[in-house]
Amino acid sequence: MKTITILGATGSIGTSTLDLVERSPDAFSVVALTANRDVDRLAAAAIRTRAKRAVVADETCLPALRTALAGTGVEAAGGEAAVTEAAAMPADVTVAAIVGCAGLRPAMAAVEQGNTLALANKEALVSAGDVMNAAVARHGATLLPVDSEHSAIFQCLDSALADRVSRIILTASGGPFRERPLDAMREITPAQAVAHPNWSMGAKISVDSATMMNKGLELIEAFHLFPIASEQIEIVVHRQSVIHSMVEYVDGSVIAQLGTPDMRTPIACALAWPDRMLTPGERLDLVKVGRLDFDAPDLERFPALALARAALEAGGARPAILNAANEVAVAAFLAGRIGFLEIAAIVADTLACYDPAAPDTLDAVLHVDREARVLADERVKERVA
């Protein structure tokens, strides 16, 4: 039986993870579950799984959590520090599914315990890739990707032949606006942007998919996860989301991982590794799919991709600035304060006006993140005015 902690247990990744854990009660013992402020869903999950501890990041929700868990034997805690403490509890697998830079400290806490970290929080490697990888090596932790694309690469890349890899091919659905003319994209609403055609995701990630910033962040994440140069990572639009990514070797062989678009598949790969576990997802029917299409991404309509690649190649603090500015801009878009095309513009403006030294500690990364957010928010206010 594996012990497991789920950070962000009430989000889309967290609930998918819980679904798998609860289908295999003899395989997993839950150590801790955390959420931001969804007390009802957190308490219900903690009770169902007999978790040792449930933690809500918003400390004002702690009294309600204590009431919901009274008499159950589940310990209740609240506050950001308590989330980090839960992440530091010994566990065979810690699933990092907190969205955004809020997940950085908890992810690092799990790494510092030498836990296996099943990483769904891409911002951890985007903003602090060098710092995180150094900590993984220092503490003997294991980093397993949960993103469907990086899980696909992980499954296709033979670590013994890493020096024989010529290309990693990241596939992208292209989001809901892959065929919409640039002029028409100015009128895109938040409701339209969160309606992804293939995947069920949270609002922020859905908007990132719509701008294709999500793929830019995954580009940076892949660079930190796998032993390959940035110029060897290619992005291809594949609208069916059947091939989740590919690895090409020097002999021309291309190995792909295929499956239906169900996040429980890559989550299960990380939870069971190095074994495999049964999942309830729909099985792939290639005859029913019928065809697989591929296109080059349009960098004019999706400038976020070019911004992300430039940030990766520049290195230093640039990826952290990119991520922070994007989070601010997406939040402003979802709140109706800015237009869809202004998201990438605000990220570009923030990158243009802030270029600090490369951060070499987690605290330094978080300082860059805070400063970039202030500057990005100023850019938002300028555009609103």
Domain with residue 64: its CATH number is 3.40.50.720
Q: Are 77 and 68 in contact (CB under 8 A)?
A: no
User: Which of the listed residues 145, 171, 189 is the one where a domain comes to its end?
Assistant: 145
Res 104: pLDDT: 93
Whether 20 maps to a domain, the answer reads yes
d(CA 27, CA 276): 12
Res 244: pLDDT: 97
Same domain for 52 and 75?
yes
Same domain for 218 and 239?
yes
Same domain for 189 and 136?
no
Give the pLDDT band of residue 90 (cuts 50, 70, 90).
Answer: very high
Residue 89: how many other CB atoms lie within 10 Å: 17
d(CA 89, CA 32): 8
Whether 118 maps to a domain, the answer reads yes
Whether 278 maps to a domain, the answer reads no
d(CA 86, CA 146): 20
Whole-Å CA distances, 321 to 8, 101, 223, 246, 250: 23, 11, 17, 29, 35
Same domain for 329 and 215?
no
Give the pLDDT band of residue 199 (cuts 50, 70, 90).
Answer: low
Res 197: pLDDT: 67
Res 201: pLDDT: 67
Torsion of CA 129, 93, 144, 77, to 10 degrees: -40
Residue tagged 């809500």 (tokens) = 56
Q: Which residues contact 285 (CB under 8 A, 6 or more apart)?
A: none
Q: What percent of the chain has pLDDT over 90?
A: 86
**Residue 190, both tokens:** 């938040």
Name the nearest CA neighbour of 111 among 125, 126, 99: 125
Residue tagged 């609930």 (tokens) = 15
Instruction: Write down the pTM of the prediction.
Output: 0.92
Res 196: pLDDT: 66
Whether 365 maps to a domain, the answer reads yes
Same domain for 79 and 125?
yes
Alpha helices in the chain (DSSP H): 12-23, 39-49, 62-69, 80-87, 104-112, 123-139, 148-156, 190-193, 203-211, 213-225, 264-272, 286-289, 304-314, 318-334, 342-353, 362-384
Same domain for 15 and 73?
yes
Same domain for 161 and 133?
no
Res 93: pLDDT: 97
pLDDT at 385 over 70: no
Q: 339 lies in which domain range?
A: 315-385
Give the pLDDT band of residue 185 (cuts 50, 70, 90).
Answer: confident
Give the pLDDT band of residue 285 (cuts 50, 70, 90).
Answer: very high
Same domain for 44 and 73?
yes
Whether 269 maps to a domain, the answer reads no
Residue 253: how many other CB atoms lie within 10 Å: 10
Same domain for 135 and 210?
no
Report, as an integer, the average pLDDT of 56-64: 97
Same domain for 128 and 164?
no
Residue tagged 């792909």 (tokens) = 256
Radius of gyration of the chain (CA): 20
Whole-Å CA distances, 366 to 144, 152, 308, 359, 361: 23, 30, 19, 9, 9
Same domain for 116 and 71?
yes
Res 205: pLDDT: 85
Whether 232 maps to a domain, the answer reads yes
Whether 84 maps to a domain, the answer reads yes
The CA-based diameter of the chain, rounded to the nearest angstrom, is 62
> Residue 75: beta bridge partners?
53
Same domain for 22 and 54?
yes
Of the given ranges (120-129, 246-255, 355-364, 370-379), which has the lowest mean pLDDT?
Answer: 120-129
Quick one: CA dihedral 74, 144, 152, 24, positive or negative?
Answer: negative
User: Which of the listed residues 273, 299, 325 is the one where a domain comes to its end?
Assistant: 299
Whether 212 maps to a domain, the answer reads yes
User: Which of the listed residues 99, 118, 145 is the one where a domain comes to its end?
Assistant: 145
Of the given ranges (57-71, 83-97, 203-217, 309-323), which has the lowest mean pLDDT?
Answer: 203-217
**Residue 243, both tokens:** 């091939």
